[in-house]
Amino acid sequence: MEGFISFASTPHVGSEVSRVCSQEVEKVLDRYCWYILKAVMSYQELKCRMEQCDNPVVVEMQLVRFKRVLRDIKERLGVEVDDVVSVVEKHYRERSTSSKIEANEAMKRLVMRIVEEIVRRICFEER
């Protein structure tokens, strides 16, 4: 990652501006990648619980945790998540192969939105 950061964000190698810019880029990447990781891990845990757990209360609790993670992403990163929540809730209710595929695709779109936000923050916001 460090190679990417210094390559992608250093307009003038060795300059103070370059060092500060790299630190800002690293902070953005770290924060947004953390939320990508949280969302994907929470979704995967929900899928595992749905497939392997016989206790509906435990599965419901994981759905609540997943929705909380997505709410945090919406509030803290400004990334739209409502459609993802709807599709995952549909899969929670239906538990079909087609709803699982839709939920997986929705999660992929969420990751893409967060990556788009990373690019916007790094490339287009003034520092």
Q: What is the mean pLDDT of each run of 10 residues along the chain (127 residues)?
A: 49 56 88 97 97 94 98 97 98 96 98 95 76
Whole-number pLDDT of residue 19: 63
The answer to pTM > 0.85 is no
| H helices present in the chain, as ranges | 2-9, 16-52, 56-77, 82-94, 97-119
Position 14 scores a pLDDT of 54
For residues 127 and 110, what is the distance between their CA atoms, to the nearest angstrom?
26
Confidence (pLDDT) at 22? 84
CA distances to 11, 16, 95, 100 from 116, rounded to whole Å, are 21, 27, 30, 24
DSSP state, residue 15: S
Q: What angle do CA 119, 40, 4 make, to 5 degrees?
A: 35
126: amino acid identity, one letter: E
Cβ atoms of 117 and 32 closer than 8 Å? yes
C-alpha span between 93 and 62 (Å, rounded): 14
pLDDT computed for residue 123 by the predictor: 87
